[in-house]
Amino acid sequence: MSTNLRFQVVEEAFKKRALAVDVPHERPSEYFGKYVFTREKMYKYLPKDIYEKLTDVMDNGTKLDRSIADAVAAGMKHWALDMGATHYTHWFQPLTEGTAEKHDAFVEHDGKGGMVENFTGKLLVQQEPDASSFPNGGIRNTFEARGYSAWDPTSPVFIIDDTLCIPTIFIAYTGEALDYKAPLLRALHAVDKAATDVCRLFYDDVKKVRVNLGWEQEYFLVDEGLYSARPDLMLTGRTLMGHESAKNQQMDDHYFGTIPDRVQAFMKDLEIQALELSIPCKTRHNEVAPNQFELAPIFEECNLAVDHNMLLMSLMKKVARKHGFRVLLHEKPFDGINGSGKHNNWSLSTDTGVLLHAPAKSSADTNETLRFVTFIVETLMAVYRHNGLLKASIMSATNAHRLGGNEAPPSIISSFLGKYVSELLDGIEQTSNLKSQISNLQKKFDIPQIPDLIVDNTDRNRTSPFAFTGNRFEFRAPGSSANCASAMIALNSAVAEALISFRRRVDERMAEYALKPEYAEGTGHTAKFHAIVSVLRDDIKTCRPVRFDGNGYSDEWVSEARRRGLDVEKSCPVIYDHYLDDDSIRMFESTKVMTAKELAARNEVKWEMYVKTVQIEARVLGDLAMNHIIPVSTHYQSKLIKNVQGINDIFSSSRSATQKADRLSARNIKLIEEIAERTERIEQLVDELTDARRVANRIASVRERAIAYHDTVCPKMQLIRDEADHLEMIVEDGLWTLPKYRELLFIR
């Protein structure tokens, strides 16, 4: 890219204006779900008995009767053709962190020389898309290509362009899960069963517990022309070099600021298309860093929420290009400013309410208090027992750049509860008078014009990776590019295990206390009440190490967390080991979410993905260093040398003139020497980086190879960046060919 071309790209980016968005005349509620086979459309296109059987599968988890598949497929096809669809695909989520689809046309030969639209129950329920080219961690050999996708009826089908998309699981021929959806559905089933059993200690009529998820998607936008002029952005999703801009986020003026016109047009277009696909967009705003924004939906059932997030990320990329942008979902696309996360707001609910919602201050129902405390404490038990696994579930080569910085939660998994809930648990540990512990939920302001505010029973702590925020826990550590399912599989499985253990221990103590006359019915404290409180007290004490209300960014917390027995490891490849801990395998197998074989396979994939990610970055960085940084720097160095020679030629007539020439040349000579030193250092480091990769690539064990990349390759990359960023500040601006941070980070 020539110098002039860089300036042309920047100039064109600043000239762009917002595109007009074709806003529907209807209210959003009227076009919501336009391209989704909703219940209303099911009722219209399916026979009544088929509709009732299908909704029973969706609502109650009953097994899908293959006998109704043909009728359902016929109704879906009729609706899809009416909407202009010509193809269908099984839409699934392989272990690539993205989605996959293979499109087939509805047409078949009619036997008369023509074609007819055809879509059978067999095609709806199951397909064989081929498993050989997807990551499988050794479960399937290349010559064993067979893999199956199977319809998930709990997630509605939808239409993208001309294609009917059918959400599916993806499994190997031998039955192991090769995707995220299959183990997620198993984890949701496990927590449903376990939580329902615990709920029946308090309410006899609870039949089902649902997991709710509300994700908050952070992202960056950059102008497409500037993006195309940065090979590192194009190939890795982040800038591998670049000196920070003099002004970035330090003025805090971007956060919640006025949304730029071009971005507003993009957001409107995105929201319209998302709402048409039943993605319930609710919130949009500027985030802290320049060019950083956030979109958040209304809470949904967890499986559907995960599907919607994966669909939205794909939709964002498509809509952004229409508006001359590129979406950056990398967790740390720019050094020196905030990265992007995807906060996972997690809760449990029944048809009677949210299980993590605190009882009203005026409530006299002891069951309500016990219910609230039980689900809070057992969630904490899950986080305490498996804090290393939860860290592994959100760790990646990309998210590792974000975690632990002052804009993101630390990689040590702890939980913040806030003053009120902490005092409640501490009080229960010491007294059985629960009613006296639920209080101070109202805060009155002595200002006549301001109404009384009902405040959450917790404050906020932005340094906590897993914070209780009123009626839910906010898992803040997942990265912006991640599939939410990874964190949700680990969390829900761990919570299921904790609830199963809680119910078992309560039953054992109930049987023990039932023999004691002081706990008989009518005495005020029944055997059940005393058993529940007794187990809660044990668990409150056990999980206390994971409760932390202080500053998670401090160095003192790292030492304290290590003393408490929490995982403080920072190496991404080593953190993955937690999937293969005895406790993790026992937990996943006991809840029937994943087998040891599946866990081992997934770790192979994670280590391999880590290696490939860092490997690509290292190759791109080496290429930029040798073909951009050094040539541009030495070209500028040559200009400086000519300048010094010219000065000496002009001022060589006398002693005083020579002294003046020396003074004029001194600064240039200093720059010449610095450029020489830094370019020589870069050449040396690139050679060392290449050697480190070669050594690592010869390691047979993928785990050890990943560790070698972390320990030997990544540090060399940082050293090269340091040198390149210094040169960027030295070399004449007109010679620098890569768009700089000051150009990338401010949309006009």
pLDDT tens, position by position, 140-176: 665 555 678 999 999 999 999 999 999 999 988 788 9
The H-or-E segment that residue 473 falls in is strand 473-475
Q: Is the pLDDT of residue 503 over 80?
A: yes
pLDDT of residue 653: 60
pLDDT in tens, 331-354: 999 999 999 999 999 999 998 788
pLDDT of residue 341: 94
Beta bridge partners of 217: 295, 342
Name the band, by pLDDT with cuts 50, 70 and 90, for residue 446: very low
More confident: 649 or 194? 194
pLDDT in tens, 624-673: 999 999 999 999 999 999 988 887 777 666 555 566 666 767 888 899 99
Query: Considering the chain, what percentage of its residues have pLDDT values greater than 70?
Result: 90
Q: Is 25 exposed, middle or buried (0-12, 13-18, 19+ CB in 10 A)?
A: exposed
Residue type, 661: A
pLDDT of residue 357: 86
Mean pLDDT of the chain, nearest integer: 89
pLDDT in tens, 394-426: 999 999 998 876 667 778 999 999 888 888 898
Name the band, by pLDDT with cuts 50, 70 and 90, for residue 451: very low
The answer to whether 532 touches 506, Cβ cutoff 8 Å, is yes
Least confident among 134-138, 588-592, 677-681: 134-138
Token couple for 618: 């290292």
More confident: 526 or 585? 585
Name the band, by pLDDT with cuts 50, 70 and 90, for residue 445: very low
Q: What is the mean pLDDT of residues 277-292?
A: 94
pLDDT of residue 521: 64
pLDDT of residue 479: 95
Q: What is the pTM of this model?
A: 0.93
The residue to which tokens 């609830």 are assigned:
499
618-622: Cβ within 8 A, 24+ apart: 618/689, 618/693, 618/713, 618/716, 618/717, 619/693, 620/231, 620/232, 620/235, 620/236, 620/240, 621/232, 621/240, 621/241, 621/689, 621/717, 621/720, 621/721, 622/686, 622/689, 622/690, 622/720
Beta bridge partners of 415: 466, 547
Q: What is the mean pLDDT of residues 265-291?
A: 95
pLDDT of residue 82: 96
The answer to whether 167 touches 187, Cβ cutoff 8 Å, is no
Most distant CA atoms of the chain, gap in Å: 115
pLDDT in tens, 239-260: 999 999 888 887 777 888 889 9
pLDDT in tens, 210-242: 999 999 999 999 999 999 999 999 999 999 999
More confident: 87 or 661? 87
pLDDT in tens, 615-635: 999 999 999 999 999 999 999
User: Nearest-CA neighbor of 503 among 538, 531, 526, 544?
Assistant: 531
Q: What is the mean pLDDT of residues 551-574?
A: 93
User: Nearest-CA neighbor of 342 among 215, 220, 184, 474?
Assistant: 215
CA distances from 105 to 123, 150, 156 (A): 11, 18, 20
Q: Is the pLDDT of residue 453 over 80?
A: no
Q: Is the pLDDT of residue 547 over 50?
A: yes
Token couple for 364: 């006299």
Q: What is the mean pLDDT of residues 678-706?
A: 98
Q: What is the mean pLDDT of residues 502-531?
A: 83
pLDDT of residue 144: 59
Q: Is the pLDDT of residue 450 over 50?
A: no
